[in-house]
Amino acid sequence: MAAATTAGRKRRKKAKTKSKSKSKSKKPKTAPQPPPPLPLQPTTSSNHHEDLSNLIPHLVTATYSAISFLRHQDLHLLPSQSLSLESLLCSTSTSFSKLLSLTYFCPESLPPPPPLPPPPAQCWFDRFLTSAAADYDPRWTHFFNLSKPSFTLLLRLLTPSLSSLSPLPPNFALAATLFRLAHSASFSAVSRRFNIDSPAACRAFYTVCKAINENLGHLFEFKSDINRIIVGFGWISLPNCCGVLGLEKFKLDGDLLGENGSLVVQALVDSEGRFLDVSAGWPSTLTPEKVLRQSKLLSGVEETKEYLNGPSFELSDGNSIPQYILGDSCFPLLPWLLTPYKKLDENAGLNSSEMAFNSVHSSGMELVRMAFGRVRKRWKLVAKKWSEQCVEAFPFVIVTCCLLHNFLIKCSEAVQDEDAECSRDQEFPVFDGEVDESGKRIRDALASHLGRANERR
- The pLDDT, as a whole number, for residue 24 is 46
Q: State how far the Cα of 206 lies from the Cα of 331, in Å rounded to an integer.
A: 33
343 in a structural domain: yes
Residues 391 and 341 both lie in one domain: yes
Integer Cα distance of 338 and 336 in angstroms: 6
| pLDDT bracket for residue 37 (50, 70, 90) | low
Residues 6+ apart with CB under 8 A from 176: 125, 190, 193, 194, 196, 201, 204, 205, 208
Average pLDDT taken over every residue of the chain: 83
Residue 447 has pLDDT above 70, yes or no: yes
The answer to whether residues 192 and 288 belong to one domain is: no
Identity of the residue numbered 289: E
* Mean pLDDT computed over 207-215: 97
Q: Do the domain assignments include residue 349? A: yes
**Is the predicted pLDDT of residue 111 greater than 80, yes or no?**
no
The lowest-confidence range among 226-240, 285-299, 337-351 is 337-351
pLDDT of residue 395: 93
Residues 379 and 301 in one domain: yes
The span from the CA of 166 to the CA of 209, in Å, is 16
Same domain, 291 and 213: no
| Pair (378, 251) in one structural domain | yes
Structural domain of residue 321, as residue ranges? 220-456
Percent of the chain with pLDDT over 70: 73
Of the listed ranges 20-24, 169-173, 392-396, the least confidently predicted one is 20-24
Per residue in 129-188, pLDDT tens?
999 888 889 999 999 999 999 999 999 999 999 999 999 999 999 999 999 999 999 999
How many distinct structural domains can be found in the chain? 2
Residues 303 and 165 in one domain: no
Of 177, 180, 186, residue with least CA distance to 87: 186
Helix 437-456 and helix 352-378: axis angle, to 10°? 100
Tell me if 56 is assigned to some domain. no
Q: Is residue 103 part of a domain?
A: no
pTM over 0.85: no
Q: Are 314 and 444 in contact (CB under 8 A)?
A: no
Residue 101 lies in a domain: no
Q: Is residue 133 part of a domain?
A: yes
Q: What is the pLDDT of residues 89-103, one digit of tens each?
A: 666 666 656 655 655
Residue range 300-314, pLDDT digits in tens: 999 999 999 999 999
Instruction: Give which of 286, 247, 249 is closest to 268, Cα–Cα.
Output: 247
pLDDT for position 260: 75
Dihedral angle, C-alpha 53, 57, 63, 65, nearest 10 °: -160
Q: So what's the pLDDT on residue 30?
A: 52
In one-letter notation, the amino acid at residue 98 is K
- The maximal CA–CA distance of the chain, rounded, in angstroms, is 149
Among 217, 232, 263, the domain-final residue is 217
Give yes or no: residues 204 and 263 share one domain.
Answer: no
Domain end point (choices 217, 238, 272): 217
354 versus 416: the higher-pLDDT residue is 354
Residue 195 lies in a domain: yes
Nearest to 59 by CA among 102, 106, 104, 100: 100
Contact between 439 and 341 (Cβ < 8 Å): no
**Is the pLDDT confidence value at 366 over 60?**
yes
Both 242 and 362 in one domain: the answer is yes
The share of the chain scoring above pLDDT 90, in percent, equals 57
Q: Indicate whether 416 and 309 sit together in one domain.
A: yes
- Residue 1's pLDDT is what? 46
Question: Which of these ranges, 120-124, 199-203, 273-277, has the smallest mean pLDDT?
Answer: 120-124
Q: What is the DSSP letter of 421?
A: T
- Does residue 25 belong to any structural domain of this protein? no
- What per-residue confidence (pLDDT) applies to 316? 87
Kindly state whether residues 280 and 422 are assigned to the same domain: yes
CA atoms within 13 A on the CB side of 75: 14
User: Of 64 and 121, which is predicted with more confidence?
Assistant: 121
Residue 22 confidence class, pLDDT cut points 50, 70, 90: very low
Instruction: Tell me: do 240 and 185 sit in the same domain.
Output: no
Question: Is the pLDDT reported for residue 420 higher than 50?
Answer: no
Do both 351 and 365 map to the same domain?
yes
**Listed residues 217, 245, 263: the one ending a domain:** 217
For 331, residues 6+ apart whose C-beta sits below 8 A from its C-beta are 245, 288, 289, 292, 337, 339, 431
